[in-house]
Amino acid sequence: MSPPADGAPSAAMRETPTAEDSARIARAAQLYRRAAVAIGQTVRGKAEVVELALIAVVAGGHVLLEDVPGVGKTTLASALAAALGGELRRVQFTSDLLPGDITGVSVLDGAGGFRFRPGPLFANIVLADEINRATPKTQSALLEAMTERLVTVDGQRHPLPRPFAVLATQNPTDHHSTFALPDSQLDRFFVRLSMGYPAREHERHILRAGGLRSAQFEPALSLDETIELCAAVDAVAVHPDVEDLLLELVVRTRTDARLLRGVSTRGAEALLRAARARALGAGRAFVIPEDLLALAEPVLAHRVLPRAEGEPGAAERAVRELLAEVFAG
Domain ranges of the chain: 1-17+237-329, 19-24+31-234
Tell me what pLDDT residue 26 has. 94
Taking alpha carbons only, the member of 270, 281, 291, 223 closest to residue 36 is 281
The DSSP letter of residue 63 is: E
How many angstroms from the chain centroid is the CA of residue 99?
23
d(CA 137, CA 216): 36
d(CA 167, CA 175): 20
pLDDT in tens, 54-92: 999 999 999 999 988 888 888 999 999 999 999 999 999
Tell me what pLDDT residue 7 has. 45
Specify the 3-state DSSP secondary structure of 121. coil
* Contact in structure between 121 and 143 (CB atoms under 8 Å): no
d(CA 215, CA 42): 6
CATH architecture of 19-24+31-234: 3-Layer(aba) Sandwich (3.40)
Tell me what pLDDT residue 329 has. 66
Q: Is the pLDDT at 180 greater than 70, yes or no?
A: yes
pLDDT in tens, 185-239: 899 999 999 988 888 888 888 888 877 776 778 899 999 999 999 999 999 999 9
The rounded percent of the chain whose pLDDT value lies above 90 is 63
Taking alpha carbons only, the member of 264, 293, 299, 265 closest to residue 279 is 293
Tell me what pLDDT residue 273 has. 97
CATH of 1-17+237-329, one of 1.10.10.10, 1.10.8.80, 3.40.50.1360, 3.30.750.24: 1.10.8.80
Tell me what pLDDT residue 172 has. 76
The DSSP letter of residue 69 is: T
d(CA 135, CA 146): 17
The pLDDT confidence band at residue 175, using thresholds 50, 70 and 90, is: low
d(CA 286, CA 123): 31
Judge if 1-17+237-329 and 19-24+31-234 fold alike in CATH terms: no
pLDDT in tens, 9-55: 444 455 566 788 888 999 999 999 999 999 998 888 899 999 999 99
Q: Is the pLDDT at 183 greater than 90, yes or no?
A: no
Residue 305: exposed, middle, or buried by beta-carbon count in 10 A (0-12, 13-18, 19+)?
middle
Tell me what pLDDT residue 1 has. 46
Q: Is the pLDDT at 4 greater than 80, yes or no?
A: no
Mean pLDDT of all residues belonging to the chain: 89
Tell me what pLDDT residue 215 has. 73
d(CA 133, CA 186): 15
Q: For 191-200, 247-256, 275-284, which range has the lowest pLDDT when averaged over its residues?
A: 191-200
Taking alpha carbons only, the member of 35, 6, 66 closest to residue 227 is 35
Tell me what pLDDT residue 8 has. 46
Specify the 3-state DSSP secondary structure of 215. coil
Cα angle 269, 274, 280 (rounded to 5 degrees) comes to 130
d(CA 46, CA 36): 11
**CB atoms closer than 10 angstroms to residue 94:** 14
d(CA 300, CA 192): 9
